[in-house]
Amino acid sequence: MAATQLFGQRIKRNEDPRLLTGQALFVDDVELPKMVHLMFVRSPYAHARILEIDKEDAEAMAGVIAVYTAEDLGDYWQPGPLLVPPPPVDGMIFNQRTQVPLAKGKVRYAGEPVAVVVAESRYIAEDAAELVFVDYEILDAVVDLEAAISAETPAVHADIPLVKGKFNNVNAHVLQIKGKDKNFDSIAATAAAVVKRRYYYDHGASCPMETRGVVADWDRRAQRMTIWDTTQAPVFIRNGMAAFLGLSENQVRVIAPFIGGGFGPKIMMFYPAEMLVPWLSMQLQRPVKWIEDRAEHFVATTQERDQIHYAEMAVDKQGKILALRDYFIHDAGA
């Protein structure tokens, strides 16, 4: 009987006192002894070959602990896990691509990390990151959604073949047909009217008050990893991180404290920071912290994909919808 008393009743919020008095814990509030700080060196170009990375000046800076590139990661360098597998749709063409810890040989989006600086303070890490010299060969970028699928457009991933012999840069191709009569053209031929429209849904950034952040602390004696992450899917991050680090799931604890807004980019996403911060804690035997700044958020955090729909609707004389067809493309990123 007691359990049913919750139905139809107002449930009091229990988080307000901590938020209103400044006692709520966010990832950036986590402070640990001997903690070091991380800063990414990011590509200013959307598409370019990496010709050289010179980190000597950054490594020589006082307070810098280490500077890593993709080559320094060795066998740890690998694509991240896919947290959300595609739905089981018959005939789907799916070219899986996930983010890598650091770009190797080529960058595929503006803001992709090419190196990471670890230092005693965030200020030192930021200053040292500016001393890392990266020589790029700029390549043609793919910035238009409709042009991206043209066979003449540069391939972001050269190893992905053309889909159906003509569509380039395709992450997934899906055809779904519902209804008794599955031939739209035959229905449209007898309809009173057919309405055709092109709809464009704009690209968008969520811009929560709190940007992303990761803190990791590897306990060598207990063989346990503790991660504080601005994620709304801690179980998936734990499972992915355990596999990535070669640990069992019970050796990894992911804490998702208070989240200062999410709106998409903080759920079911596995970023380079999740791959690198815990690994660096294991390598350095010290807690490691990374907090994204607003400029990074605009270029390196997942955003709302823009979409283009080519929709057709067949109706009879009374305006009853007889059939719909929607061919659409959406930007899944690089």
195 lies in some domain: no
Flag whether 133 is in a domain. yes
How many domains are there within the chain?
1
The per-residue pLDDT for range 260-313, each reduced to its tens digit, is 999 999 998 999 999 999 999 999 999 999 999 999 999 999 999 899 999 999
- 100, pLDDT greater than 80: yes
pLDDT in the model for residue 8: 83
Check if the beta carbon of residue 12 is closer than 8 Å to that of residue 72.
no
Per-residue CA distances from 66 to 50, 53, 125, 132, 250 (Å)? 20, 14, 10, 12, 30
Crossing angle of the two packed helices 272-284 and 234-245, in degrees rounded to 10: 50
Task: List all residues 6 or more positions away from 186 whose beta carbon is below 8 Å from its beta carbon.
Answer: none
Assign 12 a pLDDT band (cuts: 50, 70, 90). confident
Q: How far apart are CA 150 and CA 169, in angstroms?
A: 8
Q: What per-residue confidence (pLDDT) applies to 11?
A: 85
Burial of 292 (0-12, 13-18, 19+ CB in 10 A): buried
Would residue 234 count as lying in a domain?
yes
Res. 2: pLDDT tops 60: no
The pLDDT tens digits of the residues spanning 212-265 come to 999 999 999 999 999 999 999 999 999 999 999 999 999 999 999 999 999 999
Cβ-based neighbours of 17, under 8 Å, separated by 6 or more: 23
Q: What is the pLDDT of residues 102-155, one digit of tens each?
A: 999 999 999 999 999 999 999 999 999 999 999 999 999 999 999 999 999 999
Note whether residue 1 is domain-resident: no
Q: Would 50 be classed as within a structural domain?
A: yes
The answer as to whether 305 is a domain residue is no
Query: In this predicted structure, what is the pLDDT of residue 248?
Result: 98
* Residue 4, pLDDT score: 63
How open is the CA angle 333-67-255, to the nearest 5 degrees?
60
What average pLDDT does range 88-109 have in this prediction?
95
Strands (E), 55-166: 64-69, 93-94, 106-107, 113-119, 133-138
Question: Are the beta carbons of 297 and 137 closer than 8 angstroms?
Answer: no
On the question of pLDDT at 3 being above 90, the answer is no
Residues recorded for the chain: 334
Predicted pLDDT of residue 95: 95
pLDDT at 6: 75
Task: Return the beta strands (E) in the chain as ranges.
Answer: 36-42, 48-54, 64-69, 93-94, 106-107, 113-119, 133-138, 172-173, 193-201, 213-219, 224-229, 252-255, 288-291, 307-315, 321-330
Mean of pLDDT values over 59-79 = 98
Residue 7 has pLDDT above 90, yes or no: no
- The one-letter code for the residue type at 267 is I
**Burial tier of 305 (Cβ tally within 10 Å: 0-12, 13-18, 19+):** middle
In a domain, 6, yes or no: no
Specify burial of residue 258 (Cβ count, 10 A radius: 0-12, 13-18, 19+).
middle
Residue 121 belongs to domain with CATH number: 3.90.1170.50
Distance from C-alpha of 74 to C-alpha of 71, rounded to nearest angstrom: 6
Domain that holds residue 62: 25-141+206-300
Mean pLDDT of the chain: 95
Say if residue 9's pLDDT is above 90: no
Q: Write b or e for each residue in 215-248: b if 16 or more Cβ atoms lie within 10 A of its Cβ, otherwise e.
A: bbbbeeeeeebbbbbbbbbbebbbbbbbebbebe
Q: Which residues contact 152 (CB under 8 A, 6 or more apart)?
A: 168
Q: Which residues contact 251 (CB under 8 A, 6 or more apart)?
A: 223, 224, 225, 242
Q: Is residue 287 part of a domain?
A: yes
- Give the closest residue to 280 by CA, choosing from 218, 224, 220, 329: 218
The amino acid that residue 258 corresponds to is: F
Q: How confident is the model at residue 10 (pLDDT cuts 50, 70, 90)?
A: confident
Q: Any alpha helices (H) in 162-315, and if so which ranges?
A: 184-190, 234-245, 272-284, 294-300
What is the per-residue pLDDT across 144-197, written as a single tens digit (0 to 9) for each? 999 999 999 999 999 999 999 999 999 999 999 999 888 999 999 999 999 999
Joined together, the tokens standing for residue 130 give 């500016």
